[in-house]
Chains A and B, each alone.
Chain A
Amino acid sequence: MTEKQIDDTIVGRGNKDGAALFRQWFDELNEVAAQGGQSAYVFVMGSMAEILRVFDLPVVFPEINSLQTAVRRVAHEYLDQAEDYGYSPDICGYVKADVAMQLRNGKHSMGRIPKPTIGVYTNACNTYIKWAEIWERMYEIPIFTFDVPGTRAAGTQTWPGDLDFENDCRYVAAQIKELIELCEEITDIKFDIDKLREIMGHANVMSRGWKQVLELNKSRPSLFNALTDGTIYLGVANGFRGTKEGADYFDELVEEMEYKAAQGIGTLTNEEYRLLFVGVPCYPIFRRFNELFTTQNGTFINSTYLWFASGGTNTGFEYDLDNPLDSLAEGILINVRDAMDSMFFQDKILIEMLDTYHADGVVYHPIKSCRTTSTGMADNRRALMADRDVPSLFIESDMMDRRVVSEAQLKNRIEAFFEGLATRKHQAAIEGF
């Protein structure tokens, strides 16, 4: 093959295949809904797919269903319906879009979502718990709160062998056994540890690959845009966790990124400013939001979203397949805890990344819908600015509700931010001259 042919085969493969897998996943869910089959409603921060797949339970991610309505610009129809039902304008937009979807018998802009047989969710987001209670009431299904204790205070993470880590880990291990028993009961399928081992093996490949992909974006120019391309990869990381398709995808994605790094192939943006993104994307104007940065030659090289919304699998934690159940407990604890750290205690890691990723600035995007990610962001920014003289931008909007997204205001703020970045660059050039 010529270099051009290799380029055509490899470059952009992650996006193309990711979109195809995503379509395939929704088609399969549509089929399950049509057949009236079983499904598990889960969330991105600790989906427990490793266990649920042992019982052949298709996983449905209501967060992803909801954000799709925003990307496809129909979220307002769902939000209005849920608010008419009684839900406040001041609660999570994802919840409301899902409530409306359930009231519409699963009708979604990409097809139909099956009804839940079980709801499984961690405590990584408290709204998960309230959300699952809605399904419990609507469908009278079993719901399972998978409680994963998080980091108690900044910098105090504990590790295997520590008294407190072991207490947390025993709690997680007990819940794994209880979830397995519940799954056996609702599916009438006997737990198969070898099947679990196989699924965990695929999950290992995906976690390893995800970590590598994120780290490869230290390259200059960056290999992918963390806000747009990264969200496609994230969709596969969640929807296909523990599957062979998912493992193959991440193997190939690593290959693509390594190839691009070796060849010096970046994104389409003329990369002048390398930015870190903190928070959840602005889905109601997803492409446009990104363009407000790329047209100013800014690109996102990493994002806290890619950490916490992958359930912390960015840690690259790999399970010990010789000791699957204990290792699963340890992995869930470490990963989900890390996902929570990425929302609450991320200031130190962001400061580190300014150097390791050669970042020029940090963009904070607090949103009305999500207090988990947004509550501490202003204080986080203060800490960052106290530690480093680095430009940062703080722009508020929403991940679902276009009523609180003002594109004109965002544009003004973003342009001013880039003017500041340009001035700094100019000043640095003069000083360095």
Chain B
Amino acid sequence: MLIKNRKSEIGNRMAQAVFTEWHGQPLDEILYECRELVEDTDFPTVRRWREAGGQVVGHFQVYFPEEIAHAAGMLPFKVRGAPIESVQADSRFGSYLCSILKTSLELVLSERVELEMFVTHPICDAARNLAAVWGRNYTYPCEILYLPQNANSSYSAQYLRGEYDRLKRGIEKIAGREITDDDLSASLAVFNENRALLRKLYAIKQDTPWLISADDAYVLVSVGGLIPREEHNDLLRTVLPKIKERAAKQQDKIRVVFEGGFCEQPPLDLIRAIGRSCYVVDDDLLIGMRWILEDVPLNGKDPLFNLAEAYLETSSYSPVQHDLRKPKEKMLLKRIKDSGAEAAIVTAAKMCEPGLEEQVAYTYALDAENISYFIGEFEENMTSFDSLEIQLETFVENLLFD
């Protein structure tokens, strides 16, 4: 029996926006406010949401069916670490781990962020441990959402529909309300619009990359994981036409694809440094927010099944999902071709096992196709980019004057 929860009632009807700083501002100011928000390690929008009585589901990278939390009136908050020092979390983990794992837990241990639920996924050997670690430190539900690792079984979509239903029941208990099919359909519509707007942003990056810098495009995406998706839609609806109206001129930069940002995020300064010498015409940064490539059908009778099927059938790729139909190196070559890129920047977060393993396949495939690439590692906490920028400039010069 579900108990009506006052907080979730408030959350569900929350009309007060949590990110208003950009309202009524010119484009450059809007982008400035987005950068400020993305780089604010106190996550003020999440705090405001909770202060207004809202509840928060923290979900670790890469993909999470945010629609289900949204349909319950909760804020799905994308847990993606932060450039902070891991003071308390270090004692909960061993060595040889990626930074995002530690800083994500640090966010809650340091009370920068408070949650009602935490969900991780079996994306890698380290991340799947998070539910157990988190659960030993917090009494609220901390769990693994078992997204199917066999994307090619005839039963995968049906299984995932059942797994989403299990998640839905758990969320309902926390929210204190039932999630109806109508609620889900309404949330699917919000997220469909969001993904469509993000596709438009990426079309600008690809067609006219001089109109939006790599770091500005990144913050416009990234901010979506920190605020209600309706607000993100408002923001994107406002800025996309303004970006198109810009009078920026095309520069002599090479077009590249950035690969390796599917989980831990590179520092904004690193993306900015890349953008100074290259046009980043496509990437896998925060790919979970853009995982589903087409609108999820709204006319079906079973929204959960439609969402599950979309995860498997109309989706992007990443090193942490195996699908026989999507060999990663072939998908990277396709991404390069489709975006008209001339080269690739193939990175991996330090200690990221799937990323580091995929780098080998990527580089052999790129060599075979005679496509130039720049290879590197990053960490969310890195602060010095001079050496990397010099190497990158040399790489670019070699391409320009080859």
Where the two chains meet, the residues of A that have a C-beta atom closer than 8 Å to any C-beta of B are 85-88, 90-92, 95, 123, 125-127, 129-130, 133-134, 136-137, 143-147, 149-154, 156, 163-164, 167-168, 170-171, 174-175, 178, 343-345, 347, 366, 368, 370-372, 374-380, 382-383, 396
A3 → chain B closest CB, angstroms? 48
Smallest CB-CB separation from A171: which chain B residue? Answer: B159
Does the CB pair A86–B363 fall under 8 Å?
yes
Does the CB pair A347–B136 fall under 8 Å?
yes
Does the CB pair B122–A126 fall under 8 Å?
yes
A201 → chain B closest CB, angstroms? 28
B94 → chain A closest CB, angstroms? 4
A174 neighbours in B (Cβ, 8 Å): 153-155, 159
Smallest CB-CB separation from A175: which chain B residue? Answer: B153
How many B residues touch A, CB cutoff 8 Å?
A: 60
Partner of A154, one of B136, B156, B320: B136
Known: A92-B353, A164-B166. A375 touches B361 (CB 8 A): no
Does the CB pair A126–B154 fall under 8 Å?
no
A178 to B360, CA, bound (A): 30
Known: A133-B322, A153-B143, A370-B125. A123 touches B354 (CB 8 A): no
Which residues of chain B in 231-248 are interfacial with respect to chain A, using CB atoms and an 8 Å cutoff?
none
A176 to B336, CA, bound (A): 37
A163 to B159, CA, bound (A): 12
Smallest CB-CB separation from B90: which chain A residue? Answer: A378
A144 to B322, CA, bound (A): 10
Does the CB pair B162–A86 fall under 8 Å?
no
Does the CB pair A133–B361 fall under 8 Å?
yes
B354 neighbours in A (Cβ, 8 Å): 126, 130
A370 neighbours in B (Cβ, 8 Å): 125
B249 → chain A closest CB, angstroms? 40
Q: Mark B206-217, 1 if CB is under 8 A from A, else 0.
A: 000000000000
A380 neighbours in B (Cβ, 8 Å): 132, 136
B126 neighbours in A (Cβ, 8 Å): 371, 375
Partner of B356, one of A91, A126, A137, A170: A91
Can you list 6 A-B contacts (CB < 8 A)?
A: A88-B357, A137-B361, A145-B150, A147-B149, A171-B159, A343-B129
B359 at the interface (CB under 8 A from A): yes
Does the CB pair A86–B359 fall under 8 Å?
yes
B135 at the interface (CB under 8 A from A): yes
A6 to B1, CA, bound (A): 64
Q: Mark B116-150, 1 if CB is under 8 A from A, else 0.
A: 00000011111011011101110001111110111
A374 neighbours in B (Cβ, 8 Å): 94, 96
B101 neighbours in A (Cβ, 8 Å): 375
A203 to B327, CA, bound (A): 35
B163 at the interface (CB under 8 A from A): yes
Does the CB pair A147–B166 fall under 8 Å?
no
B81 → chain A closest CB, angstroms? 15
B371 at the interface (CB under 8 A from A): no
Partner of B163, one of A95, A143, A167, A383: A167
B97 at the interface (CB under 8 A from A): yes
| B101, B126, B363: most-surrounded residue (chain A CB, <10 A) | B126
A368 to B350, CA, bound (A): 13
Does the CB pair B136–A396 fall under 8 Å?
no
Smallest CB-CB separation from A136: which chain B residue? Answer: B327
A175 to B151, CA, bound (A): 11
A370 to B126, CA, bound (A): 9
A125 neighbours in B (Cβ, 8 Å): 125
B93 at the interface (CB under 8 A from A): yes
| A86, A92, A170, A382: most-surrounded residue (chain B CB, <10 A) | A86
B112 at the interface (CB under 8 A from A): no
B86 → chain A closest CB, angstroms? 12
A127 to B123, CA, bound (A): 10
A90 to B355, CA, bound (A): 11
Q: Mark B152-177, 1 if CB is under 8 A from A, else 0.
A: 11111011001100100000000000
Does the CB pair A167–B159 fall under 8 Å?
yes
Does the CB pair B146–A149 fall under 8 Å?
yes
4 interchain residue pairs of minimum CB distance: A167-B162, A174-B155, A171-B159, A375-B129
A288 to B94, CA, bound (A): 23
A152 to B320, CA, bound (A): 19
Does the CB pair A130–B137 fall under 8 Å?
no
B125 neighbours in A (Cβ, 8 Å): 125-127, 370-372, 375
A168 neighbours in B (Cβ, 8 Å): 159
Does the CB pair B133–A375 fall under 8 Å?
yes
Partner of A376, one of B133, B158, B329, B356: B133
A149 neighbours in B (Cβ, 8 Å): 146, 159, 163
Smallest CB-CB separation from B142: which chain A residue? Answer: A153
B395 neighbours in A (Cβ, 8 Å): none
Does the CB pair B153–A152 fall under 8 Å?
no
A343 neighbours in B (Cβ, 8 Å): 129
A87 to B348, CA, bound (A): 12
B91 neighbours in A (Cβ, 8 Å): 378, 382
B92 at the interface (CB under 8 A from A): yes
Partner of B133, one of A86, A143, A379: A379
Known: A127-B353, A378-B94, A379-B93. A153 touches B163 (CB 8 A): no
Does the CB pair A383–B93 fall under 8 Å?
no
A130 neighbours in B (Cβ, 8 Å): 319, 353-354, 357-358
A145 to B136, CA, bound (A): 30
B95 at the interface (CB under 8 A from A): yes
Partner of A379, one of B92, B124, B329: B92
A91 to B124, CA, bound (A): 12
A279 → chain B closest CB, angstroms? 10
Contacts A133-B361, A145-B322, A370-B125 aside, 8 further interface pairs with beta carbons under 8 A come to A91-B357, A133-B322, A147-B153, A152-B166, A174-B159, A371-B353, A379-B136, A382-B91
Q: Mark B357-369, 1 if CB is under 8 A from A, else 0.
A: 1111101100000
Smallest CB-CB separation from B320: which chain A residue? Answer: A126
B401 → chain A closest CB, angstroms? 27
A417 to B133, CA, bound (A): 25
B351 at the interface (CB under 8 A from A): yes
Does the CB pair A126–B94 fall under 8 Å?
no
